[in-house]
Structure formats: C-alpha cells, structure tokens
C-alpha cells in the first residue's frame, strides 16, 4: 500500500518548511517539497535538512509531477508566493500569486484533490473595515489592500469563493489569512524577516534596537500593533486542516491578540537576559502612506469550524524562538 502524499509548495521557505516538519511527523505520510533551493550558502536547503522529505520538485516541473502522481495525492498545501510587500513588478506578483494558484486550484478541482493555500492579512489593507474573515463575495470585494502583494492575495480569495459558489472547487479548499508569523527558518528572508529575527543581531551585540516612529496620533512610537503568531501554531492549524477534509473556506490565522512592536522587542531582550535599549527612527516615506497600524485576527470562524488548539503567548513564543533557535549554532527547525 502506497503512502499518503502531501505536496508542499514553497516547502523550503519559512512557513512551508515548518509545515514540512509538522506534516512529516506522521510516518504514514510522504511529504514532497516543491521549491527552488538556491545556492549552497543560502539557508533554504537547511530549512528542510532535518526532516524526511520524500521528493523534491522544482516549481517549473510541478504540473508534470502532478500529472504523474495525482492518484497518490492526499492534499496540496500551497505556500509558494512572492511574499514581498514592496515588490515593484506587479506582473511578477500576479503570475506567482494569482495565475499559478488559479491553475493549481483548477487542477485540484478537476482531479478531486484537496487544496490548502496561503492568503494574507495584507488583504485587509489599513484595517478600516476590520479583520473579519467574512467569506461573502461582497465583503471580500470591499477590501482595499495597500500593496500589490495584498491585492494579489485578495484577488485569489475572490476567485476561490466564486468558483466554490459555482461548484467548481476542489473537494476541500481552505485559504489561510496569515497575520505576522515569526519563528525558526526565516533566516533567508532578508528584509522580510520578522522583527524578532531582524533585531536579534543587535540584541546579541549589545546595540540598541531600532523601531519605526509612529505617524499616527493614536499610536505612540513603538506602539504600532500587530497580531504576532508563532509559526508552530500556524503549522498546527494547517495540520488540523489536512486531517479535516470536511472543512473549507477562508480563515484568519493569527493569535487573536494584538501586541505592540515595543512588546515584541522587549520580549527578545528579556529572552536574552539583556536590559532593553530601543531607539525610534524615521519610517521610509514610501511606507508612511501604506502602513498598517493595527491588525488583530478574529478567530470565530476557525473556532466554529472546530479548531480547539491554543495559541502561544507573545513572550512565550519569543522566548522559545530566541533560546531554542536564534541563540543556537544550528538555528534551524
């Protein structure tokens, strides 16, 4: 009897590699990674080196692989995307974040295979309409993302809901609006790393940490709020969805509690046993008009669907990240 196969696109990336780690815990499941690994000095191959990866597929070969192996496929977990919120090439963003997942969605629908994919809290824009993961087409169409990345994710969410309403969706389809995810295996992300990872070298070296000043009267410097969610919690939600083929729809994936960047920085200092030293610097002009000052996931839909897992508190998650990974010679999960 053949093993169950889960294909994880973007499987050597940050969230994707943590999903590979979580899904590979089941000895009856083969986890296949679809991704590019880059050169030897890049961290991406190390992100998956500790786990029993059954196969590696390059993205340009994905549909050929699917054409051969779809009979053995339990699900596709699609995490591959252009994730930079400042990517200037909108055509590149749309090719990767809309056209490719559109074709993948249709493949899964035609072949009756399940699909779980990454959406984003960036779809909510400045948050003026709140953070309710309403699946109503009118509610989704009303959202106004602040950048091309957020728009591409919103566009695909609308496509998925529209296809589902026409009975043209995979037997299970689930989109996850990830909020601010942090944790191990993000070292390759450069400026797109979480703030915890970006400030760690300064904390370690005894330098002051720099955070952006606020340009909103309701938020002090460092008081800008985000829903920070530990990547292990995100992986638990995805694994739960893989185990629940009856659950479909778009769901928020955050901790459900907004905390400030100052709280986050102080958590990193505390985990390192260092007295906090924080300085506030000017925000780049290009970001000042396209900046989210508050995000907080509403989790009612996820709970109503049956998810009962708990989310790690910020201080506990940061401490685990710092002590278990960032401060270690081998920081990979």
CA distance 41 to 108: 35
Q: Note if 213 is an active site residue.
A: no
Contact 152, 97 (CB under 8 A): yes
Catalytic residue (one of 50, 92, 189, 193) = 189
Q: Note if 291 is an active site residue.
A: no
Catalytic residue (one of 92, 117, 124, 149) = 149
Q: In sequence order, which ranges of the chain are alpha helices (DSSP H)?
A: 14-23, 44-48, 62-69, 90-94, 100-110, 137-142, 148-165, 195-205, 231-243, 261-272, 285-288, 300-304, 314-321
CA distance 281 to 190: 19
CA distance 282 to 43: 31
Contact 294, 214 (CB under 8 A): no
Interior angle at CA 174, CA 169 and CA 180, nearest 5: 145
Bridge partner residues of 251 (DSSP): 176
DSSP notation for 215-242: -STTS-TT--EE-EEEHHHHHHHHHHHH
CA distance 22 to 36: 20
Q: 48 phi and psi, to 5 degrees?
A: -115, 5
Contact 230, 236 (CB under 8 A): no
Contact 53, 20 (CB under 8 A): yes
Contact 314, 320 (CB under 8 A): no
Catalytic machinery residues? 149, 189
């Amino acid at each position: 009897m053949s093993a169950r196969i889960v294909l994880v696109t973007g499987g050597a990336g940050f969230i994707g590699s943590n999903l590979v780690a979580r899904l590979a815990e089941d000895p009856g499941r083969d986890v296949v990674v679809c991704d590019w690994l880059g050169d030897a000095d890049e961290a991406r191959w190390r992100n998956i080196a500790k786990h029993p990866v059954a196969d590696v597929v390059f993205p340009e070969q994905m549909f050929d692989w699917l054409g051969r192996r779809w009979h053995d496929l339990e699900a596709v977990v699609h995490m591959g995307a252009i994730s930079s919120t400042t990517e200037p090439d909108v055509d590149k963003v749309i090719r990767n974040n809309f056209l490719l997942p559109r074709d993948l969605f249709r493949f899964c629908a035609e072949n009756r295979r399940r699909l779980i994919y990454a959406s984003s809290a960036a779809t909510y824009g400045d948050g003026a309409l709140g953070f309710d993961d309403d699946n109503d087409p009118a509610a989704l169409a009303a959202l106004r993302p602040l950048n091309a990345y957020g728009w591409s994710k919103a566009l695909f969410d609308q496509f998925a809901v529209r296809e589902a309403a026409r009975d043209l969706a995979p037997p299970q389809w689930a989109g996850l609006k990830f909020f601010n995810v942090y944790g191990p295996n993000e070292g390759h992300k450069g400026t797109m790393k979480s703030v915890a990872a970006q400030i760690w070298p300064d904390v370690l070296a005894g330098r002051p940490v720099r955070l952006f000043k606020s340009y909103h009267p309701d938020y002090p410097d460092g008081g800008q709020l985000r829903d920070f969610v530990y990547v292990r919690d995100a992986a638990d939600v995805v694994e739960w969805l893989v185990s629940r083929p009856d659950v479909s729809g778009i769901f928020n994936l955050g901790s459900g509690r907004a905390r400030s960047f100052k709280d986050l920085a102080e958590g990193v200092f505390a985990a390192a046993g260092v007295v906090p030293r924080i300085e506030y610097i000017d925000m780049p002009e290009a970001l000042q008009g396209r900046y989210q000052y508050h995000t907080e996931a509403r989790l009612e839909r996820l709970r109503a669907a049956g998810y009962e897992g708990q989310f790690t508190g910020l201080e506990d998650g940061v401490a685990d990240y710092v002590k278990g990974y960032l401060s270690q010679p081998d920081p990979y999960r």
